Amino acid sequence: MGGLGSERRGYFNSNDTTNDYRTLDVRRWQRDGLLDPHQSFGWKWSGDGETTATIQVRTEPGRVILSYRHRSHGDDWKDESYPVQLDWTRCNYGGQRP
């Protein structure tokens, strides 16, 4: 069964599912005041008391930039950077949420 930090090693010709990927909770970032523009912070995933993955996040108006390093099967490390647009939804009693 998948979960945070899980990997599917040894499976051939299998399709990935959403449980095979790490999750980010943009609503938590908003509650913690991390989505204000022009900030940077790190985020980590852990399991069994060990850090399993980390990512750097930079905020800009209307989006976040996710930057991380990864490698597969002993290959060279690759740097990745992904801009992710944020959609905001108005709340019934005022304010908005990402």
Q: Where are the domains of the chain?
A: 26-97
| Sign of the C-alpha dihedral computed for residues 72, 77, 81 and 86 taken in this order | positive
- pLDDT tens column, 48-88: 888 888 899 999 999 999 998 877 777 888 888 999 999 99
Neighbours of 96 (CB within 10 A): 10
Distance CA 70, CA 25 (A): 21
Distance CA 17, CA 43 (A): 22
- Identify the pLDDT of residue 65: 97
Q: Please provide the average confidence, as pLDDT, over all residues in the chain.
A: 83
- C-alpha 17 chain-centroid distance: 16
